[in-house]
Amino acid sequence: MPRGWVWVQIALAWLPMWAVFTVLISSAHDISVLPAMIGSARMVVPGALLGFAVYAFTNRTPWPHPFRLRFVVVHMFAATIYAVVWLTLIVAIDYLVSRRMVVREGPGIVAFLVTGMWLYLVVAGVAYANRAAQRAAALEAHAARVQLAQLRAQLHPHFLFNTLHTIVQLIPTAPQAASQAAEELADVLRRVIEEDRDLLPLSEELAFVERYLAIERLRFGERLRVERQVDAAALPALVPSFALQTLIENAVRHGAAAKLETTTIAIRASLAGGVLTLSVHDDGVGARSDEIMRAGSTGLRRLRERLQWEFGEHSRLDIDSSPGAGFAATLHLPALLDEAVQA
């Protein structure tokens, strides 16, 4: 975070305290707002500056688990020191500016010390709360990374088993095609093993899909047709790795594999209004979408989970299918562009 923005946040955090002191001074001494604001500033500024020391001290004395009484004693002692130093600075500033002792005219030393200790406890409490929030955010981010890695790792064997099944089916009827498919699979697996990115440009995902489809064409021949309608502006857009491949694999498995006639798979991608829309539609036998998600489409379920971890509510996977009407899966993702592809 830029240092200037840090100072802005600190100033905003102390503004309510400044307002409270201004009201108290104005009411207690029956003076106008402007002099009260100046007087309260002499109290707030030293408190804010000492707040940096409090924040550093809380960093050196982490919140104990389990809670210990010694922790309370240490902070009460530190609060007393803070209050004494704060009052000393106020007296010094007020004497240098107006040649008067604010302690004599104010509510008294005890009231100032109690207020100083209260300020210390507020600053320390905010520091501990902020640190706890940072730890919670870090743990959540770590959990998200672990979950993404697990989901991605689960997709790899799912893809591998389906492709090996294709090769096994080719061996008795077309051994040469099976051999070629095995070589293609080796190239594909090299990409699967080496790819460790969660997001990659759509152009790279399309290239991987082409290699996958080359293997499936050895199995289906003319029975498998692929149509593409991809906007050039969508090519640099980032998509979850193997997301498009999962949609294509589902179309092949539930469309082409279950149909004797030619099956057409249409791939469409467009970018508009800050949203990348990526869809795969086949004219296969179709099925009830809830049955597909509940039955064998492990890839689709895990892809939906990945989207939730990656983008939350800013993405979704829509499924549209019914018996005899084909199957359509559409991804809606925030438009994140890869600068290297754009260049």
User: Could you read off the pLDDT of 314-339 as tens digits, one per residue?
Assistant: 899 998 877 777 888 999 999 888 66
Work out the pLDDT band at 8, boundaries 50, 70, 90. Answer: low
Confirm whether pTM is higher than 0.85: no
Q: For residue 104, is it within any domain?
A: yes
Contact 113, 84 (CB under 8 A): yes
230 in helix, strand or coil? Answer: strand
Residues 124 and 25 in one domain: yes
Q: For residue 152, is it within any domain?
A: no
Work out the pLDDT band at 202, boundaries 50, 70, 90. Answer: very high
Residues 295 and 201 in one domain: yes
Q: Which of 93, 122, 138 is the last residue of a domain?
A: 138
- Percent of the chain at pLDDT > 90 equals 17
Q: For residue 185, is it within any domain?
A: no
Task: Please count the structural domains in the chain.
Answer: 2
pLDDT above 90 (res 279): yes
Residues 202 and 99 in one domain: no
What are the two backbone dihedrals, phi and then psi, of residue 63, each rounded to the nearest 5 degrees?
Answer: -65, 125
Residues 235 and 324 in one domain: yes
Question: What confidence score (pLDDT) does residue 241 get?
Answer: 84
Domain that holds residue 132: 3-138
Residues 91 and 213 in one domain: no
Average pLDDT over residues 8-12: 59
257 alpha carbon, distance to own chain's centre: 38
Work out the pLDDT band at 1, boundaries 50, 70, 90. Answer: very low
Cβ burial of 53 (10 Å; 0-12, 13-18, 19+) is middle
Residues 10 and 86 in one domain: yes
Question: What confidence score (pLDDT) does residue 141 get?
Answer: 66
Question: What confidence score (pLDDT) does residue 137 get?
Answer: 73
Q: For residue 145, is it within any domain?
A: no
CA atoms within 13 A on the CB side of 118: 8
Cβ burial of 270 (10 Å; 0-12, 13-18, 19+) is middle
Residues 129 and 260 in one domain: no
Question: What confidence score (pLDDT) does residue 113 get?
Answer: 86
Mean of all residue pLDDT scores within the chain: 79
CATH code: domain of residue 330: 3.30.565.10
Q: Which of 120, 138, 156 is the last residue of a domain?
A: 138
Which of the two residues, 105 and 205, has the higher pLDDT score? Answer: 205
Question: What confidence score (pLDDT) does residue 341 get?
Answer: 47
pLDDT above 70 (res 290): no
Contact 153, 196 (CB under 8 A): no
Which of the two residues, 108 and 321, has the higher pLDDT score? Answer: 321
Average pLDDT over residues 60-78: 88
Q: For residue 64, is it within any domain?
A: yes
pLDDT above 80 (res 54): yes
The residue among 165, 89, 172, 80 whose CA lies nearest residue 124 is 80
Residues 228 and 121 in one domain: no
Q: For residue 149, is it within any domain?
A: no
The residue among 133, 124, 136, 126 whose CA lies nearest residue 58 is 124
Q: For residue 148, is it within any domain?
A: no
Amino acid of residue 209:
V
- Looking at mean pLDDT, say which of 139-143, 175-179, 281-285, 330-334 comes out highest: 330-334
Q: Which of 111, 138, 165 is the last residue of a domain?
A: 138
The residue among 156, 182, 190, 204 whose CA lies nearest residue 306 is 156
Residues 126 and 206 in one domain: no
Residues 214 and 332 in one domain: yes
Q: For residue 161, is it within any domain?
A: no
Residues 87 and 13 in one domain: yes
Which of the two residues, 217 and 103, has the higher pLDDT score? Answer: 217
Residues 130 and 265 in one domain: no
Contact 88, 101 (CB under 8 A): no
